Amino acid sequence: MKESCAQKVDEKPLPRYICDPVLGDGGKLYVPPELIKIYLEDIIPLADVVTPNQTEVEFLTKIKIRNLDDAVLACKKLHSMGPELVVITSIEFPDSMNNCEENDVVLFGSRRMKMKKDSYEIYKVNIPKIPGRYTGTGDLCAALLLAHTSHLMEHQNENIGPVHKPSEDAKSTGTTTDTRQTDPNVTLADILQNVAATMFSVIKRTYDFSCLAHSKEDIYEKKKFVIKSNELRLIQSKGDIEHPPSVASLKLASTSFVKNDSSHFRSMRICE
Please report the pLDDT score of residue 23 as a whole number. 95
Of 77, 127, 92, 87, the closest CA to residue 109 belongs to 87
Q: Which among 25, 52, 30, 26 is positioned nearest to 39, based on CA atoms?
A: 52
CA-based nearest residue to 145, from 125, 116, 168, 174: 125
Contact by Cβ (8 Å): 84, 74: no
Q: What is the pTM of this model?
A: 0.77
pLDDT at 164: 42
> What gap in Å lies between CA 27 and CA 230, rounded to an integer?
21
Mean pLDDT by 10 residues, the chain (272 residues): 65 77 93 95 93 96 93 94 94 70 82 78 85 86 89 46 42 38 64 90 88 57 53 91 72 40 56 54
Strand partners, 122: 110, 265
Predicted confidence at residue 3, as pLDDT, reads 72
Return the pLDDT at 90.
92
For residue 208, the model assigns a pLDDT of 86
